[in-house]
A = this chain, B = another copy of it.
Amino acid sequence: MSIVVRNPPRADAAVIDGLAALGVATVHEAQGRIGMLAANMRPIFPAHIAGSAVTCQVAPGDNWMIHVAVEQCGPGDILVVAPTSPCEDGFFGDLLGTSVQSRGVRGLVIDAGVRDVAELTAMNFPVWSKTVWAQGTIKETLGHVNTPIVCAGALVEAGDVIVADQDGVVVVRRRDAASVLEKSRAREADEIEKRARFKAGELTLDVFNMREKLAAKGLKYIDYEGY
């Protein structure tokens, strides 16, 4: 059976917007180094967004369910698409981009290909995908919308928060989002202070007190002449 789950709860809009101001690396560290989608999810142009996930499972070479998913998308959402077996086809182009953008969708994350990237760039509609390719798709096979999916190696559920920037894509569980935002802001604040010290020439070895632990593990310094 193919299912479309309507009106799943979204993460809090203020929390999402808070996370959008923070980098993917910071968010991922703040939640304990988890939640990254695979490294091959690359942006079609430099962008930085956050939103609430609408999930969509498709068949390889078939984008029919994306058309179904569009109707479930609203302002502040990010569409997250995964095929049931690996596929590089261009499942999404500027027509679907126009449609979801008109509904307030902030971007697309797809473990497959995307096309019309010149137009999508001109429209300022960001996409993270594993490839860019014009190869077209058909409309024959059903899938699911807003059920849990594995996208690029990460579990994504409807209403999870997606944060995406040039370093990739991270998923934050909806129930954890507020707490992750808080920890991310603390981490960010700490980094600002540290950055100033590093710029002034202090070393991470000293700022983070690594020297003793390194010596205890057996690190030796040798002058080149003695090597």
Q: State whether A227 touches B5 (Cβ < 8 A).
A: yes
| A194-B95, A222-B3 known; A214+B155 contact, CB < 8 A | no
| A61-B87, A68-B205, A140-B140 known; A218+B2 contact, CB < 8 A | yes
Which range contains the number of A residues in contact with the other chain?
35 or more
Among A13-70, those with CB < 8 Å from B are: 23-25, 28-29, 33-34, 36, 38-40, 42, 46, 48, 59-62, 64, 67-68, 70
Q: State whether A9 touches B224 (Cβ < 8 A).
A: yes
The smallest C-beta distance from A148 to any residue of chain B, in angstroms, reads 7
* 10 residue pairs, one from A and one from B, having the closest CB atoms: A134-B167, A39-B133, A60-B61, A25-B134, A140-B140, A99-B198, A24-B134, A98-B198, A8-B224, A115-B167
CA distance A13 to B164 in the complex (A): 41
Q: State whether A204 touches B60 (Cβ < 8 A).
A: no
A124 close to B (CB within 8 Å)? no
Question: A78-120 CB contact bits vs B (8 Å, 1 = yes)?
Answer: 0000001111111001111011001100000000010111110
A131 close to B (CB within 8 Å)? yes
Copies in the complex: 6
The smallest C-beta distance from A11 to any residue of chain B, in angstroms, reads 14
Smallest Cβ-Cβ distance to A131: which chain B residue: B39
